[in-house]
Amino acid sequence: MAIKHKIVSRQEAQTYWQHSTLGARLNECVVLVLAAKGTTAYQIFGTSDDLKFRSSMTLFPHAVPDEPLFRRAQAKYFDGRDDPRTMEFLLRR
């Protein structure tokens, strides 16, 4: 059974990124995804998780604007476009 985890604010995303373990794991995972050659986010993650990845690659650049890693992933897998639903969420916060 999947357990739902959700970051509910920019501040929480910043805290997540700054956490010594969680931030390091996120960095490592995004680097690995960026290293994948000739594939799409859907091919890597499958249904639903590809959407979660897109949402994360929209959220984190807005929470941690000085870190280019997330924009690189967004550019590679989503033509550099933000996820509209995540942007709506951010605008409401």
Domain at 47, CATH number: 1.25.40.380
pLDDT at residue 6, as a whole number: 81
pLDDT at residue 93, as a whole number: 73
For residue 68, count other CB atoms closer than 10 A to its CB.
11
Global pTM reads 0.89
Q: Mean pLDDT per segment of 10 residues, for the chain of length 93 residues?
A: 73 96 98 94 94 96 96 98 94 83
Contact indicator for 31, 69 with CB cutoff of 8 Å:
yes
Contact indicator for 74, 45 with CB cutoff of 8 Å:
no
Q: Which two tokens stand for residue 65?
A: 């604007």
| Domain-located, residue 77 | yes
| Domain-located, residue 5 | no
- Domain tally for the chain? 1
| Domain-located, residue 30 | yes
pLDDT at residue 2, as a whole number: 53
Contact indicator for 1, 85 with CB cutoff of 8 Å:
no
pLDDT at residue 3, as a whole number: 57
